[in-house]
Chains A and B, each alone.
Chain A
């Protein structure tokens, strides 16, 4: 099993506060890795370092053995690292289909022939519709994205991420802020992506029961440090994790 993404001692400090502290992990290719940890553990900051929104104070990040530490988010996306954000990130005044079409066409360089009517690019339109089917949103194709329910926006966001055809998907709490009724549908979408088996998925999650049956590997962050790395079974049996994360410090895992 090859490592596709690797961090070596990455650290970032904001003033005196060390948000991510010398974290070294390997993300295996085409596997499902979960990142868990209590609020403020540095999970999202860790993602920001992987996707390039933040630059580490020290340490390095490697994609397929090549250092990407200094690359901008755009360049990392082009290399093959796509991410979603914890706050839903869709274009509110575009239709659902336009949102996905934008992501589909983003793989092409911007050129002057883009002034042609978009209908002359049937393949892109069809690809966008196909992706909407994959995330169970096809019937909403022509609604404005701002009119979608929260859960539907998250699905749209995943469709846009899929459209980028990146090898790695970084999903930042895809169920955050969702109502209980909305959660199963998004889980189904994620299950489907995993079942296709051709992508590396890294996912931040809060809800333990959800990640356990999905994950091949679990990373536990606590106070910015990597507390444990292993299979879901290892993590459940790990006493340090239990006391720090599953125990008194964090009781919200019953959900």
Chain B
């Protein structure tokens, strides 16, 4: 029982981190048909800049804010310089965002040096506590809490605000939103910035969890996030939450019970979804 809970919490925490990355990706794709392969780069930049601020100030909270600001700034620059010139052209999008991903990754090494950097959980979130027979690691619970909070806030924005309504409608049919006279480009820029900030938040949260950050982590997590977007249904926000948790749990349990399958399990999940439900598990586009 103890083991089961630990694996589940481990999986949930990983799932939430992937969710932070995938939720932005799915809305960016759903809204403007943009495949953003540079998303993982923003995640890694969030981690490095956040840890840098964290080390500098000694405050994890300020570190998190630093990561979010980095995400917003990089997001607005990416949208403006990289994405805007290639709207509507998937091949060019793939090439330029993949290239930009490499640039972001290498720039990390230029700015922060080529070596991995260690990160510790902040004082209040270190260690664990015991609940019955189960030992709970505080930092993992913290990640799950933040993930749930981000989901709730974003869900509220999508469902209850005017911008949210435009985003949901835009995911269903952006041409029609434009034909209503709405400037969807501006909304897309907002979504892109928010998505980048969430990715950066995911990056800084991952740092103390894995204990070490390195430039290639962006690419590794971006692949998981793409798998989640496919499983959850492209453009489905709630789908990305459930798919991320599914992927996180599958990985955690497989790593323990069938270690040789732990890398393949997510690919197999995605393949199964593509074969039996190619539109994704949650295909209610724009239903939030």
Assess the B165–A102 pair: CB atoms within 8 A: yes
The stretch from A58-66, A73-81, A177-185, A195-203 touching chain B is: A73-81
Residues of B contacting A89 in the complex (Cβ-Cβ under 8 angstroms): 173, 176
Given the known A-B contacts A93-B168, A117-B161, are A109 and B180 also in contact in the complex, defined by CB atoms under 8 Å?
A: no
Given the known A-B contacts A89-B176, A114-B161, A114-B163, are A106 and B181 also in contact in the complex, defined by CB atoms under 8 Å?
A: yes
Residues of B contacting A78 in the complex (Cβ-Cβ under 8 angstroms): 181
Given the known A-B contacts A74-B178, A102-B180, are A115 and B165 also in contact in the complex, defined by CB atoms under 8 Å?
A: no
Q: Could you give, for residues 159-190 of chain A, a 1 whenever the CB lies within 8 Å of some chain B CB and a 0 otherwise? A: 01000100000000000000000000000000
CA distance A92 to B286 in the complex (A): 9
Residues of B contacting A106 in the complex (Cβ-Cβ under 8 angstroms): 180-182
Q: Is B121 an interface residue (CB 8 A)?
A: no
Given the known A-B contacts A91-B173, A92-B172, A93-B287, are A118 and B165 also in contact in the complex, defined by CB atoms under 8 Å?
A: yes
Assess the A110–B286 pair: CB atoms within 8 A: no
Q: Shortest beta-carbon distance, A58 to chain B, in Å?
A: 25
Interface positions of A from 81 to 96, Cβ below 8 Å from B: 83, 89, 91-94
CA distance A118 to B168 in the complex (A): 14
Which residue in chain B gives the minimum CB-CB distance to A51?
B179
CA distance A51 to B178 in the complex (A): 12
Q: Shortest beta-carbon distance, A163 to chain B, in Å?
A: 8
Assess the B287–A102 pair: CB atoms within 8 A: no
Assess the A117–B160 pair: CB atoms within 8 A: yes
Q: Which of B166, B178, B186, B284 is the one whose CB lies under 8 Å from A102?
A: B166
Assess the A110–B166 pair: CB atoms within 8 A: yes
Q: Is B128 an interface residue (CB 8 A)?
A: no
Q: Which of A51, A73, A101, A115 is the one whose CB lies under 8 Å from B163?
A: A115
Q: Shortest beta-carbon distance, B168 to chain A, in Å?
A: 6
Q: Which of A74, A83, A91, A118 is the one whose CB lies under 8 Å from B162?
A: A118
Q: Could you give, for residues 272-288 of chain B, a 1 whenever the CB lies within 8 Å of some chain A CB and a 0 otherwise? A: 00000000000011110
Q: Is A103 an interface residue (CB 8 A)?
A: yes
Interface residues on B, range: 20 to 34
Q: Which of A94, A115, A164 is the one whose CB lies under 8 Å from B286?
A: A94
Given the known A-B contacts A102-B180, A164-B180, are A115 and B186 also in contact in the complex, defined by CB atoms under 8 Å?
A: no
Assess the B179–A110 pair: CB atoms within 8 A: no
CA distance A114 to B237 in the complex (A): 20
Residues of A contacting B286 in the complex (Cβ-Cβ under 8 angstroms): 91, 93-94
Residues of B contacting A164 in the complex (Cβ-Cβ under 8 angstroms): 180-181
Residues of A contacting B162 in the complex (Cβ-Cβ under 8 angstroms): 101, 105, 114, 116, 118, 121
Residues of A contacting B173 in the complex (Cβ-Cβ under 8 angstroms): 89, 91
Residues of B contacting A109 in the complex (Cβ-Cβ under 8 angstroms): 183
* Residue tally, chain A, CB below 8 Å to B: 29
Assess the A118–B160 pair: CB atoms within 8 A: yes
Q: Shortest beta-carbon distance, A217 to chain B, in Å?
A: 25
Assess the B165–A98 pair: CB atoms within 8 A: yes
Q: Output the residue of B168, B179, B182, B284 with the most chain A CB within 10 A.
A: B179
Residues of B contacting A160 in the complex (Cβ-Cβ under 8 angstroms): 180
Q: Shortest beta-carbon distance, A123 to chain B, in Å?
A: 13
Q: Is B157 an interface residue (CB 8 A)?
A: yes
Q: Is B169 an interface residue (CB 8 A)?
A: yes
CA distance A74 to B185 in the complex (A): 12
Q: Shortest beta-carbon distance, B228 to chain A, in Å?
A: 21
CA distance A83 to B160 in the complex (A): 28
CA distance A77 to B179 in the complex (A): 7
Q: Which of B168, B180, B183 is the one whose CB lies under 8 Å from A94?
A: B168
Residues of B contacting A105 in the complex (Cβ-Cβ under 8 angstroms): 162, 165-166
8 pairs of residues in contact across A and B, judged by CB atoms under 8 Å: A51-B179, A74-B183, A77-B180, A78-B181, A91-B176, A93-B286, A101-B165, A105-B162
Not counting A94-B172, A114-B166, A118-B161, a sample of 20 additional A-B residue pairs whose C-beta atoms are within 8 angstroms of each other reads A77-B181, A89-B173, A93-B284, A93-B286, A93-B287, A94-B165, A98-B169, A102-B166, A102-B180, A102-B182, A105-B165, A106-B180, A109-B183, A110-B183, A110-B186, A114-B161, A114-B163, A115-B161, A118-B162, A119-B160
Task: For the complex of A and B, list the 7 residue pairs with the smallest distance between their C-beta atoms, beginning with the closest.
Answer: A77-B181, A114-B162, A106-B180, A114-B163, A93-B287, A106-B182, A91-B169
Which residues of B pack against A, CB within 8 Å? 157, 160-163, 165-166, 168-169, 172-173, 176-183, 186-187, 284-287
